[in-house]
Amino acid sequence: MKKSAGKKLPYESIVSKSNVKQLAYNNTLTSFNLLKEVLKELVSEYQSALEGRVDKEILPAFNEKGAFEAEFRLAGDLLVFSMHSNVFIFNREHPIWKVDYVKNSPMNGYCGVIHIYNFLSDSFKYNRLQDLGYLIARVFINQENHFFVEGKRQSGELVKDFGNDVVTRDTFKQILETAIKYAVDFDLLVPPYDQVKIASVEQMKEEISHSKIKTGKRVGFKFNSDDV
């Protein structure tokens, strides 16, 4: 079948966008591997500072779960680090579109993402599948290895330095230390009485065997992106 006269196929657009996404993905994967190295260093630092002062169960531990996931356990908290395998673009209301770096070159808005979740260590230890975890930070990385971070107690002005900030070992250490401190300070609250006043036989059997009543740090509390 002959192509219609004058009809152009979007080869250049496909190649350009695909290359940008691949670069963003590669940079995010490289950054995730760097993040895991920094986590291992933090484990050593914490162990040196805490050993002999706390029970061994409280000492931090690092667990690599594969190419796209890692865990950092500290006392009763577990931070889960997860890299998404896809690259994303932001909705038109996102403040990233007000930054000259992206306005002048929209392709810079395509980013890979690394999520940092906070769970209770016991949720995984006792396989409490209904327990809640919270997203406390996420790091976006683009084709030029520039990044910005959203999250609890992270950078004050969300994307203002996106055009300048690049991923380094020191920036990751700062992000991780902020996330760890937030998780440690984010205490487990007693759930509202009305939420737990009725329990099934199954719940009780599970509770007796593995402490499996649904647990989260803020049961009944609305967890917003601007909570600090």
**pLDDT tens, position by position, 85-110:** 999 999 999 999 999 999 999 999 99
Decide if 114 contacts 142 (C-beta within 8 A).
no
Please say if the pLDDT value at position 198 is more than 60.
Answer: yes
Amino acid residing at 131: D
* Strand positions, DSSP E, the chain: 61-66, 69-74, 77-83, 111-120, 134-142, 147-151
Q: Which residue has the higher pLDDT, 124 or 68?
A: 68
Residue count of the chain, please give it.
228
Alpha-carbon gap, residue 208 to 222, rounded angstroms = 29
Q: Where does the pLDDT of residue 50 fall: very low under 50, low under 70, confident under 90, or very high at 90 and above?
A: confident
CA–chain centroid gap for 116, Å, is: 2
Under DSSP, the state recorded for 106 is G
* 104 class by beta-carbon count within 10 Å (0-12 exposed, 13-18 middle, 19+ buried): exposed
Q: Do the bridges between strand 61-66 and strand 77-83 make them parallel or antiparallel, or are there none, so unpaired?
A: unpaired
pLDDT score of 144? 97
Q: Burial level of 217, CB count in 10 A (0-12/13-18/19+)?
A: buried
Q: How confident is the model at residue 222 (pLDDT cuts 50, 70, 90)?
A: very low
**DSSP H helix total and E strand total for the chain:** 6, 6
Domain ranges of the chain: 15-188
Angstrom CA distances, 57 to 27, 71, 75, 79, 203, stand at 35, 15, 7, 16, 27
Contact 83, 69 (CB under 8 A): yes
pLDDT at position 225: 47
